[in-house]
Amino acid sequence: MTWKAAFDANYTDGVLVLHKGRVVYERYDGCLDENTLHGAMSVTKSLTGLMAEVLVAEGKLDETVLVSGIIPELKQSAFGDATVRQVLDMTTALDYSEDYSDPEAEVWTYAAAGSPWPKTEGYDGPRSYYDYLQTVRKEGKHGEALGYKTVNADAAGWLIARTTGVYVAEYLSNRIWSKIGAEREAFYTVDSIGTPFAGGGFNAILRDMARFGQLVLNEGKWGGEQIIPTQAIARIREGGDREAFAKAGYDLLEGWSYRGMWWVSHDDHGSIAARGVHGQTIWIDPAAEMVIARFASNPVAGNAANDPTSLPAYRAVADYLISQEATPTLVGREWHIEDIADKGVIDNSPASLWFMPDGRLIGNTSCNRLMASYAQDGDALSIEGAGSTMMACPEALMNQERHLLNLLPAVERYSTNEVGTLILTTADGQTITARRR
């Protein structure tokens, strides 16, 4: 299956690939575009888990203490004798079903408790997330097996709130979201008393989800500032108890573990993921210096429905980026021009160069098609016969086209830098730079 085919096979609404912090691929479909908020579903858990790991790394939250020592209200619940670490790694033993296909599963009572809408006449159940957590009962022994259940994330959200004095939404905003250059506001859904849904209520645009993934890839740094402790991300990346994970029965994720509410692959790239129902994903591949953010609307909730067509696609993109880095060549995919003689390019003008194996050079001058020929010998490069179609364009685009067409015949050599940028250089030192997407 191709990357393009995987887009449709996974019911993708939007996918964005960052390589070394730069967008190299971005595609949307249906109602989603770059400005549209989308539910992150259980990717929210990984935001919650990271915030908790930050507090652990800073010594503000003790991972070894019992939850009841921090939240006395949970003393009589299943969480009362679980440690903070067991909650964060979801190795709590809970009498709680999250089987969405079972109308009698506890998840539906939980959903009713967390609904912000007025309760129906005669309703006598819990009326908030925190109310419901106090009703969860224990089944088994904590610490023995992964039990992936959303109530753990809301217990973690309560731990964060009790430790910091603010809800997770405010803590995320103050510590992370306000510092990563987010393009749009984000929001949490809340229950009837205003408690953010720490297990699945986060909504944001795709680009900002990718920014969050890049922060994790950068080990907590953004713009040269250490926003969150490196140790918090290191704890996540080292992974959790693989034997406990294996008992959960994720047959498609053999050898994986779960740590701090993140999925840890333990592959040779050190990949980790934030995952949500219906295909929501942040995939982080440190070896490829790559982040993939995806929103989707798969009709089947469980990720087992899309893992066979998603996980190999993520790895294929990572391997491709690594191979392109190792052996960059002129011939191959289209190069998108980012600068012409230190003057930049007009926003959204599709200036590009595409070196064909037969010596033809095609592409876009801006709003016209480019036609030329080229010869390459080592890093020496000559371009001849550069011309374009004659469609009338706005004056600024026409000036950019003329500048490009004048520079191309003067090119004498090419190179690529450490981030994969193609640099064409003329005899007098002027340059044209381009990157692949």
What whole-number distance in Å separates Cα of residue 47 and Cα of residue 200?
10
Q: What pLDDT does 436 receive?
A: 85
Among residues 192, 119, 202, which one has the least CA distance to residue 157?
A: 202
pLDDT at residue 86, as a whole number: 98
The CA distance from 176 to 160, in Å, is 14
Q: What is the pLDDT of residue 100?
A: 83
Look at residue 420 in the predicted model and tell me its pLDDT.
82
The pLDDT of residue 327 is: 62
42 is catalytic: yes
**Can you give the pLDDT at residue 101?**
85
3-class state of residue 142 by DSSP: coil
Alpha carbon separation from 275 to 1, 159, 212, 292 (Å, rounded): 22, 22, 14, 12
Residue 320: HSE in the Cβ half-sphere, 13 Å Cα cutoff: 16
* Burial tier of 416 (Cβ tally within 10 Å: 0-12, 13-18, 19+): middle
Alpha carbons 254 and 238: distance in angstroms, whole number: 16
HSE of 394 in the Cβ direction (CA atoms, 13 Å)? 5
pTM of structure: 0.82
Angle at 85 between CA 83 and CA 91, to 5 degrees: 85
Report the DSSP beta bridge partners of residue 219.
none
Quote the strand ranges of 80-228, DSSP E. 187-188, 202-204, 221-222, 225-226
For residue 262, give the 3-state DSSP assignment: strand
Q: How high is the pLDDT of residue 437?
A: 77
Q: What are phi and psi of 278, to 5 degrees?
A: 65, 10
For strands 272-276 and 280-285, give the pairing.
Answer: antiparallel
Rounded CA separation 113/120 (Å)? 11
66: DSSP letter: B
**Coil vs helix vs strand at 208:** helix
- Residue tagged active-site, from 42, 46, 265, 349: 42
DSSP 29: -
* Rounded CA separation 150/153 (Å): 5
Q: Are 317 and 271 in contact (CB under 8 A)?
A: no
Give the H or E element holding residue 24. strand 22-28
The neighbour count for residue 193, using CB atoms within 10 Å, is: 11
3-state SS record for 376-432: EECCEEEEEEEEECCCCCCHHHHHHHHHHHHHHHHEEEEEECCCCCEEEEECCCCEE
Q: Scanning the structure block, which residue is given the tokens 């939007």? A: 14
383: exposed, middle or buried (Cβ count in 10 Å: 0-12, 13-18, 19+): buried
Q: Which two tokens stand for residue 31?
A: 């109602």
**Side chain identity at 220, as an amino acid letter?**
G
Per-run averaged pLDDT (10 residues), the chain, 437 residues: 94 96 93 97 98 98 98 98 98 94 92 94 94 98 97 98 98 98 98 97 98 98 96 97 97 97 98 98 97 97 95 96 77 91 89 93 93 94 94 92 96 90 95 91
Residue 50 parent element (H or E): helix 43-57
Contact 278, 308 (CB under 8 A): no
Q: Could you tell me the domains of the chain?
A: 3-323 (3.40.710.10), 335-435 (2.40.128.270)
Residues 6+ apart with CB under 8 A from 402: none
- Encoded amino acid at 179, one letter: K
C-alpha distance from residue 152 to each of 67, 96, 133, 136, 374 (Å): 11, 11, 9, 10, 61
Contacts of 124 (CB under 8 A, 6+ apart): none
